[in-house]
Chain A
Amino acid sequence: MNSDPALRLEGLTVNYGRRPALRGVDLRVERGEMMALAGPNGSGKTTLIRAVLGLLPVDAGMIEILGAPLASLPVRERARRIAWVPQEEAARDNVRLADYVEYGRYAHRDAWSGELDGDRRAVERALASSGLTERAGDGILTLSGGERQRATLARALAQAAPILLLDEPTSHLDIGHQLDFLGRVRDLARAGEVTVIAAMHDLNLAARFTDRVVVLSRGRRVADGPPGEILSEELLLRVWGVVAERRIEPKTGVPYLIPQRLVAAPAPGAALAGWGPVHVVGGAGAATPILRLLADEGARLTVGTLNLLDSDAQTAEQLGIPSAIEAPFAPLGPEARQRNAILLGAARAIVVAAFPVGPSNLPNLDDVAPYVGRVPVFLAAEPPIAARDWTGGRAAEAWESLRAAGATVFRTPVELMAGLRKSAGAPGVEDRPQGADVH
């Protein structure tokens, strides 16, 4: 059984009534890993944890714990394999802490055996690992918030299960207690005592304390890997609808993300409510009417690459649209283009406005080329490219090749809207940006 992974999910599907919460999630967690489960509210983190605990009926797929199918394990045996630290435990009675932790030993005894030696040792160790030895004799209602959460950890540790599931364990704690709590859990994982799976909202804490981040979005696993590799600006935009800046902590090499703003909030009832992001390529004011129209229709927008002081850039600023910006009147440099590429990569549709093309902004057309065929690309044909080509034909050539590759040409805003609406399908609740509560 030692070669079996701690946890294996295969096609795990859970529905709440007709609403899918998890849609075919595959996951394999090796022993000794410390893994963070991230994702916006409603992405399925808690559902996944509850399903693994056997607290929810599973609609399809399989859960395997240390090599045994969950469904085949009696409740008591499950408890010997997985312990759980809930987000916040409702304790009403002022139970003595040592007794409370000892409750966690339940799965290791039967109705007839009293407190055994092994139980007492396990309780003492759990209290020590949680830094609560001193408070063993106090009632749990007299503990502070940070101590309460560690008490819950101690109860779970007393269960002596090789897998520890944590559900937003630090969301009620201050910064100091967050670091303390996660540090203790990581130490246990490093010591090889437990495999940790922790649902976490705070990506920076996840990056700092875990070896692996699995991102869920709308019930699917959309990213999985070491935090340094997967926590990117693009991921935040795509999954949370949040524009963020990614930096690297110089001392540790750990990435950290500085959230900046939410991409335009959905206007309920609008044709494209919440759908997107739609990336608009413009310049010299050509994108402005398109940005205003799509913003009115509720689409989430990004725009690039524009020169600062350009009237399109000012529109983007006014509407709070994230953009890739170059210095005024300068040719588009690598940094701005890289940012544009991030926005392009996150887009679900791309609109190329009818902007005048000169040598300095010619890359704007070239940069779109890789995305034709991958996402819907809409190409403005009015005024015609020939009338605004200041590159001696190179722009017309680039434009023509976009069209030849399959970009959709539009002449009027009505045509553009019709095309986008079709791409969006029937935009409904499901397509709202899920990060809307980040602010």
Chain B
Amino acid sequence: MPEEPGAASPAEAPRRRRIGRGWRLAIGVAILGALAVLVSPLIGPVPIPPVVVLRILFGVADPCAGYLSHAYSCVAAPTIVLEVRVPEILLGLIAGAALGISGAGLQGVFRNPLADPFLLGISSGATLGASIVLVFQVGIQEADLFLPLFAFLGAAGTGLVVVLLARNRYGSVETLLLGGVAIAAFLSAADWLVLLYNPELGLQVDLWLLGGLGSASWSVDAIALSLVMVFGTLLALYGPELNLIQLGNDVAQSAGVATTRVRVTVILLASVVTATSVAFTGIIGFVGLVAPHVIRRTVGTDYRVVLAGSAITGAAFLLAARDVSILAFPTSELPIGIFTAFAGVPFFLYLLYRQSRVVTMGSGA
């Protein structure tokens, strides 16, 4: 384009990014998150004095000398901290980040603030996978391995089916969403059928579903981390595409976004990332719904920030939920999924109320 003489030196756009309420909130969330990471190792169902925990973490020889009276506790303490607590905390961070980022990705691709990682039946798919292991005794001897594997396959497979629906080039996003919800209903019915004929497995499946960090170990963490790192990072690169998709599919396409391909890829990546989380921690609700909203309402709506920010927020939220649940119910080990729901549902309702006032301007073509 020829240079326009009049516009040679346009005035520098005034930057009006004052530190507003939103940023203060964001900084608050970040501080809370950092605090949760620091405090978490000190908290656990087995009471160990914080000083001892710190000494263990810093590798001080004979960590409990003079702090613990019973020699028995002193032997167990390093194992509890290093083989249980730290892997649990890591798994919590990984799962929280996975749920946060895939929630953000799905909300973006569906242009729907109510989308969450389990919306498209991924949870029902995982349940079906887990039920198959339990019912048909598939590799039940190595259940620690097969349960997550089948749950992963069930979850990711569901995502794949939804993606096949999403391939229609001129199909609307609403159709896709409805298709996904229908698949969820179908799988959920299948779950119920399996449980109806195997009632004795009901509690087992339920407990697994409710979610927790109990299965954490260094090897579990390594698997989860590598999957979430690879696919989560790929997902985090879709910010520019999702920004344009928010303006409508047609606008996005006219600006150069291959909308169908983006839709398929984002759903697939979100499914794999969510499936990883589900496989090792069960279904932890509301993290994926809440985290993107916290970012959008505080830092901003630019998806380049929302995706990464939701991962961080999700990780912090899940970890905080773990800490609070242990502090509140030290003896019962309440499943973390219950706790995130207790914290998440009021927030969800608050959003619903806010949304009914904001979204009426319509979603465009």
Considering only residues 71-90 of chain A, those with a C-beta below 8 Å from chain B are 74-76, 78-80, 82-84, 86, 88-90
- A79 CB to closest chain B CB (Å) equals 3
Q: Given A90-B361, A128-B7, A193-B1, verify A57-B170 contact (CB < 8 Å).
A: yes
Interface string of A48-90 (1 = CB under 8 A from B): 0010011111000000000000000011101110111010111
Is A193 a contact of B253 with CB atoms below 8 Å? no
Is B257 a contact of A106 with CB atoms below 8 Å? yes
Complex A-B, nearest 5 residue pairs according to Cβ-Cβ distance, in ascending order: A90-B364, A79-B256, A136-B13, A107-B256, A93-B301
CA distance A162 to B289 in the complex (A): 41
Q: A90-B365, A103-B255, A155-B255 are in contact. List 19 more A-B contacts (CB 8 A).
A: A50-B250, A53-B254, A75-B253, A79-B254, A84-B254, A89-B251, A89-B364, A92-B246, A92-B358, A103-B244, A106-B240, A111-B237, A125-B7, A127-B10, A128-B10, A137-B16, A137-B17, A159-B256, A191-B2
| Interface presence of A104 (CB below 8 A) | yes
| Interface presence of A26 (CB below 8 A) | no
Interface string of A286-305 (1 = CB under 8 A from B): 00000000000000000000
Is B302 a contact of A99 with CB atoms below 8 Å? yes
Is B13 a contact of A104 with CB atoms below 8 Å? no
Nearest A residue to B13 via CB reads A136
Q: Given A104-B255, A106-B255, verify A94-B363 contact (CB < 8 Å).
A: no
By a CB distance below 8 angstroms, the chain A residues around B256 are 75-76, 78-80, 106-107, 159
By a CB distance below 8 angstroms, the chain A residues around B357 are none
Nearest B residue to A114 via CB reads B304
Interface string of A129-158 (1 = CB under 8 A from B): 100011011100000000000000001000
Is B361 a contact of A92 with CB atoms below 8 Å? yes
Considering only residues 293-325 of chain B, those with a C-beta below 8 Å from chain A are 296, 300-302
By a CB distance below 8 angstroms, the chain B residues around A91 are 246-247
With beta carbons under 8 angstroms apart, the residue of A86, A98, A106, A192 that contacts B13 is A98
By a CB distance below 8 angstroms, the chain A residues around B7 are 124-125, 128-129
CA distance A111 to B363 in the complex (A): 27
Nearest B residue to A129 via CB reads B7
- B344 CB to closest chain A CB (Å) equals 22
| Interface presence of B327 (CB below 8 A) | no
By a CB distance below 8 angstroms, the chain B residues around A111 are 237, 240
Is B364 a contact of A106 with CB atoms below 8 Å? no
CA distance A93 to B243 in the complex (A): 10
Nearest B residue to A74 via CB reads B258
The total of chain B residues at the interface (CB under 8 A) is: 41
Interface string of B245-266 (1 = CB under 8 A from A): 0111011011111100000000
By a CB distance below 8 angstroms, the chain A residues around B257 are 75, 106
| Interface presence of B11 (CB below 8 A) | yes
CA distance A50 to B10 in the complex (A): 34
With beta carbons under 8 angstroms apart, the residue of B10, B301, B365 that contacts A94 is B301
By a CB distance below 8 angstroms, the chain A residues around B11 are 133-134
**Chain B residues touching A, majority SS:** loop
| Interface presence of B61 (CB below 8 A) | no
Interface string of B335-365 (1 = CB under 8 A from A): 0000000000000000000000011011111
CA distance A53 to B257 in the complex (A): 12
| Interface presence of A230 (CB below 8 A) | no
| Interface presence of B142 (CB below 8 A) | no
Binding site for A on B (CB under 8 A): 1-2, 4, 6-7, 10-11, 13-17, 111, 170, 237, 240-241, 243-244, 246-248, 250-251, 253-258, 296, 300-302, 358-359, 361-365
Is A55 a contact of B251 with CB atoms below 8 Å? no
With beta carbons under 8 angstroms apart, the residue of A54, A107, A137, A160 that contacts B1 is A160
- B109 CB to closest chain A CB (Å) equals 15
CA distance A159 to B14 in the complex (A): 22
Q: Given A95-B302, A193-B1, verify A90-B240 contact (CB < 8 Å).
A: no
With beta carbons under 8 angstroms apart, the residue of A84, A103, A106, A125 that contacts B10 is A125
By a CB distance below 8 angstroms, the chain B residues around A93 are 246, 296, 301
Among B15, B251, B258, B364, the most chain A Cβ lie within 10 Å of the Cβ of: B251
By a CB distance below 8 angstroms, the chain B residues around A155 are 255
- A225 CB to closest chain B CB (Å) equals 29
Nearest A residue to B301 via CB reads A93
With beta carbons under 8 angstroms apart, the residue of A75, A80, A89, A133 that contacts B247 is A89
CA distance A85 to B116 in the complex (A): 32
Among B10, B247, B248, B359, the most chain A Cβ lie within 10 Å of the Cβ of: B247
CA distance A418 to B240 in the complex (A): 64
Is A103 a contact of B1 with CB atoms below 8 Å? no
Q: Given A93-B296, A94-B301, A128-B7, verify A136-B14 contact (CB < 8 Å).
A: yes
By a CB distance below 8 angstroms, the chain B residues around A92 are 111, 246, 358-359, 361, 363
CA distance A136 to B248 in the complex (A): 22
Is A125 a contact of B4 with CB atoms below 8 Å? yes
Is A90 a contact of B10 with CB atoms below 8 Å? no
CA distance A297 to B359 in the complex (A): 48
- B11 CB to closest chain A CB (Å) equals 6
Q: Given A134-B14, A193-B2, verify A79-B364 contact (CB < 8 Å).
A: no
By a CB distance below 8 angstroms, the chain B residues around A138 are 16
Among B254, B256, B258, B365, the most chain A Cβ lie within 10 Å of the Cβ of: B254
- B105 CB to closest chain A CB (Å) equals 15
By a CB distance below 8 angstroms, the chain A residues around B2 are 191-193
Q: Given A86-B251, A90-B364, verify A137-B14 contact (CB < 8 Å).
A: yes
Is A83 a contact of B244 with CB atoms below 8 Å? no
Is B301 a contact of A95 with CB atoms below 8 Å? yes
Q: List 27 A-B contacts (CB under 8 A).
A: A53-B250, A54-B253, A55-B253, A83-B255, A86-B248, A86-B250, A89-B247, A90-B247, A90-B362, A90-B364, A91-B247, A93-B296, A95-B301, A96-B17, A98-B13, A103-B247, A124-B7, A124-B13, A125-B10, A129-B7, A133-B11, A136-B14, A137-B14, A137-B15, A137-B17, A160-B1, A191-B4
